[in-house]
Structure 1
Amino acid sequence: MSSTNQPTPEQFEVIKAVADFSAKPMRSPVLRTPDEHGMAYTDVFFPAIDGVPLEAWYIPAPSDSNLLIIANHPLPMNRYGLAGHLEPWDVMDPTEINFLFELKHLHDAGYNILTYDLRNLGRSGSGGNGACGVGRYEWRDCVGAKQYVDNHPELSKMKVGLLSRCTGGNAQYEAISRHPELFRNVSCMVSPLVVSMEVFTKNYANSVLQGSGEFPEIIDFEQIKAGGLKNSEMTPHLFAKDIFMPTLIVQVRGDKWTEDSDGEKTYELLGAKEKDFFWIEGTTRRWVGYNYFGQHPERLIGWFDKYMK
């Protein structure tokens, strides 16, 4: 980008909106609960490693089980998903995302589930003046969740798998990199739609208004101004080499908001000896991809079953 090249006023409005989404996302409501999907649950809460209070559900398996999935979520969602079918949360894609469908599949397959809201999202507390790091602050929540499990009289005896989606996946990678000792006993991880924000902000901005994504320095500056980080700082590539447990990477092929090469690079960088890559086909819409395992749980359950049962 040349120093003389500047966005049009319309492009700058898109840039500001994208920067605000990345740095200070709007909270979305926890619209549905596990009992609406036939699952008993308990509200639980615990601190992140830096003290931010986190809200969670514990969903026990229907019969005695020593298997536990710790699940987290993307931006700007929460443990339920996203009320994307309602205003004002429909702005990116007017689609409801409901993770309770895939959690029900895991529940019925014999897994206990702990699923929590990341900081500044859902019903969890605020941290860092409300700023989002797309993993760079949220790793502290992943550590807090694992410490909660390890200190719990019953959960600490269970075999653990991780379901770490998008921003939650980026955060999980950094948590594992910073505190490998905490995660040594984790059996495996499923890692849907982790993303590098350089790729996402460019492609998403261009999908709203062509050319808006071609000003990376301006997007970075607007994010920093809003309390966030530069896009180059927000990528799973920084920590993927430290992932040692069997990991399944999941991406939407042809996702119009990212690039296939970004997910492929994450996969190549993974330090895990046992790893696999699964493409969601038949859509280029990321929001549709988030609902995929709720409708087609075979690969999700298959990966956990392989390494946990």
Structure 2
Amino acid sequence: MFGKVISNMMVKPGQSPLFDSPDAYGLDYEDVAFQTEDGVTLRGWLIHGGSDKVIVQTHFGVQCNRGGWTPKGHGPITPWKQDIKFLRQAEYLMEQGYSVLMYDMRGHGESDLGPIPWVSWGPEEAKDVIGAVDFVSARFPEASIGLLSICMGSASTTYAYGRDNGLAERKNVKAMIAVQPLLYTCFMKALGMPNFMVKAGEKVSEQRLGFDMGQPNFVKEAHNVTVPTLVVQNKNDPWTQLGMVEDYYQALTVEKDMRMLDIEKSRFAAYDYVGSHPEELMGWFDRYM
């Protein structure tokens, strides 16, 4: 019983109904759909700000989608009290002359499930990042592409660099911002959950996914990243281990920087910060695109 409940918390898809729209911001956009290499249809918004620079935004996992995160439907106790609207940073980027692809990863928002119908925390979702980059490349063949990858999006993007015919082969990708990369094992330790409950959840998740969630490690893939990368982390985040974030940063072999935020004691504070202070972070793209 414990195992199924915990596994559902961590890998069950469909926990993130779409709650926001570019219409609310008066943005010029279109609804788009594209397929990944394994035939999964992903859906999103292509926000038009220019044809020579495009940002691919990849959201965080399980309870998130292209629009962001909402506390609605999660009961009275939530990690953050307000909607986190990713369209805020998209609006800022559009005003700076960027187009932005915001899409739902498999099993999230309005996108389809994958052949493995569970959230894998990055290994499967890496195919989605590649599919998103290829979609943008086909629409804008001459454009430079930047990657705004948040939490599980950072893990997925890093795995995508380590795949055969992965992002390392896409020379039009010029820069990445990795917001709060997080290993599953570090997250579980930070939650302080009793070990027997963790093991029970991992057993069920392994049956569902076909692999032990404690084994894939995107930190070990970081050396495959080929573009300048800015790592953003709230130093007061209680749901991670800062040593893991430092390990990820040190493993990057490209031009890099780390922005350590000193903000509210919540992991979600940094997710909100990206949209509330985009001018403090998005200049990273201006430097390389």
Give the letter for the 2:36 counterpart: A
* Cα distance in structure 2, aligned partners of 1:181 and 1:277: 22
- CA shift at 1:215, angstroms? 5.6
Q: Structure 2 residue aligned with 1:270, among 249, 252, 256?
A: 252
Counterpart residue number, 2:285: 304
Q: Which runs of 5+ in 2 are unaligned?
A: none
**Aligned with 1:276: secondary structure?**
strand
Q: Structure 1 residue aligned with 2:89, among 102, 121, 129?
A: 102
Q: Which deviations, in whole Å up to 9, do the C-alpha atoms of 1:174-224 show, x marking residues without a partner?
A: 1122124532221100010111110102212x2xxxx52576533421322
Q: How does 1:118-129 map to 2 (within 5 A)?
A: 118-129=105-116
Q: Greater shift after overlay, 233-242 or 16-25?
A: 16-25
Identity %: 30
- Contact 1:203 1:213 (C-alpha < 8 Å) held by counterparts: no
- Contact 1:23 1:133 (C-alpha < 8 Å) held by counterparts: yes
Counterpart residue number, 1:252: 234
- Contact 1:253 1:283 (C-alpha < 8 Å) held by counterparts: no
- Contact 1:118 1:138 (C-alpha < 8 Å) held by counterparts: yes
* Cα distance in structure 1, aligned partners of 2:222 and 2:127: 17
* TM-align CA RMSD: 2.0
* Cα distance in structure 2, aligned partners of 1:120 and 1:90: 25
Counterpart residue number, 2:39: 51
Q: Which deviations, in whole Å up to 9, do the C-alpha atoms of 1:111-166 show, x marking residues without a partner?
A: 111111000001000113421111110011111112212222xx121111111111
Give the letter for the 1:202 counterpart: K
* Cα distance in structure 1, aligned partners of 2:7 and 2:26: 39
- CA shift at 1:17, angstroms? 3.5
Q: Which deviations, in whole Å up to 9, do the C-alpha atoms of 1:44-83 show, x marking residues without a partner?
A: 000011010000110001xx45111011100121110112
Give the letter for the 2:39 counterpart: G
- Contact 1:163 1:190 (C-alpha < 8 Å) held by counterparts: yes
Q: Greater shift after overlay, 180-189 or 212-221?
A: 212-221
TM-score under structure 1 length normalisation: 0.86
Give the letter for the 1:33 counterpart: S
TM-score under structure 2 length normalisation: 0.91
Q: Greater shift after overlay, 240-249 or 17-26?
A: 17-26
- CA shift at 1:226, angstroms? 4.2
Against the structure 1 CA distance between its residues 75 and 143, is the aligned structure 2 distance closer, same or farther, given a 3 Å change threshold? same
**Aligned with 2:281: secondary structure?**
helix
- Contact 1:176 1:183 (C-alpha < 8 Å) held by counterparts: no
Against the structure 1 CA distance between its residues 151 and 90, is the aligned structure 2 distance closer, same or farther, given a 3 Å change threshold? farther
* Cα distance in structure 1, aligned partners of 2:76 and 2:216: 24
Q: Which runs of 5+ in 1 are unaligned?
A: 1-11
Larger Rg: 1
- Contact 2:44 2:102 (C-alpha < 8 Å) held by counterparts: yes
- Contact 1:202 1:212 (C-alpha < 8 Å) held by counterparts: no
Against the structure 1 CA distance between its residues 307 and 195, is the aligned structure 2 distance closer, same or farther, given a 3 Å change threshold? same
Q: How does 1:1-309 map to 2 (within 5 A)?
A: 13=2, 16-61=4-49, 64-76=50-62, 77-84=64-71, 86-88=72-74, 92-95=78-81, 96-152=83-139, 155-178=140-163, 179-204=166-191, 206=192, 211-213=193-195, 216-227=198-209, 229-272=211-254, 274-308=255-289
- Contact 2:263 2:269 (C-alpha < 8 Å) held by counterparts: no
* Cα distance in structure 2, aligned partners of 1:214 and 1:281: 34
Give the letter for the 2:115 counterpart: G
* Cα distance in structure 1, aligned partners of 2:101 and 2:128: 13
* Cα distance in structure 2, aligned partners of 1:306 and 1:174: 24
Against the structure 1 CA distance between its residues 304 and 93, is the aligned structure 2 distance closer, same or farther, given a 3 Å change threshold? same
* Cα distance in structure 2, aligned partners of 1:79 and 1:26: 13
Against the structure 1 CA distance between its residues 239 and 89, is the aligned structure 2 distance closer, same or farther, given a 3 Å change threshold? farther
